[in-house]
Amino acid sequence: MTGPIDLALFEHLLRKPESELDLERAALLIAEAEYPDLDVAANIAKLDELGLVVSRRLTTENVSAASGSTADVIRCVLDCVYVELGFRGNVSDYYDPRNSFLNDVLDRRTGIPITMAIVLVGVCRRIGLDAHGVSFPGHFLVRVSGAGGVLLFVDPFDGRVLNDGQLRAFYEQATGDPGEIDETVLAPAGRRQILARMLNNLRAIYEVRGDRCRLQRMLERMAVVHPTEEIRSRLEVLGQNVPLAPRLSVN
């Protein structure tokens, strides 16, 4: 399965309404551009298995996602995923493109915030915990909702719940604004929004590397997720002998 075929599958999946769009499968189809023989179902099964491991850990700890404290549940989830199972943010090679491919993140148990968030949200969903990705400026986060309007924000890169001060520090670092956080940046991210951010990360890496072939694959997928004139013109430039203008911002 190569070239136009896997792009056609990606286009087919993205035709679905936002509420029906399977984020995990779509993320794996992004990886299929690099791994033409990728077994999508097998990787979904790995996420299912992670959910079972965490569910068993909750049972052992006598903690329930349905009735327990949200803080206690997410603490147990994070301990299992990041300590027991060994998932971690890749601090040694942050700009390795494998950090943006969900299959590699599952196999290597390391990635960048957005792909680590997909794993964490997938685990939470499988145990009945309400969690969503947050397209926070500069650093993708996970938002966990509990009873009584409880909201917790998790840094998926190192698996920690952020307090208000840490959240504001992230915001100031990314925006330069030391004031209160704009509440709109704490809203759950749409699935297409997440896919677009994943693709933009890969685009930035391949632009810096001057890898025109892989860059074209990412731009083609960006044109499916969120077609713009800028993407169309960028694809046209790739067909010409014009120097690339790299912009490295991966999060």
Mean pLDDT (the chain) is 92
> What is the total count of domains within the chain?
1
pLDDT digits (tens, 9 = 90+) for 133-188: 999 998 999 999 988 888 999 999 999 999 999 999 999 998 898 888 988 999 99
User: Which residues have a Cβ under 8 Å from the Cβ of 50 and sit 6 or more positions away?
Assistant: 81, 85, 119, 122, 123, 126
203 located within any domain? no
Query: Tokens standing for 3?
Result: 């070239």
32 located within any domain? no
When pLDDT is averaged across residues 11-37 and rounded to a whole number, the result is 95
CATH code of the domain containing 85: 3.10.620
200 located within any domain? no
Which domain covers residue 120, as residue numbers? 39-189
228 located within any domain? no
20 located within any domain? no
241 located within any domain? no
State residue 68's pLDDT score. 76
205 located within any domain? no
d(CA 192, CA 26): 9
d(CA 61, CA 113): 27
133 located within any domain? yes
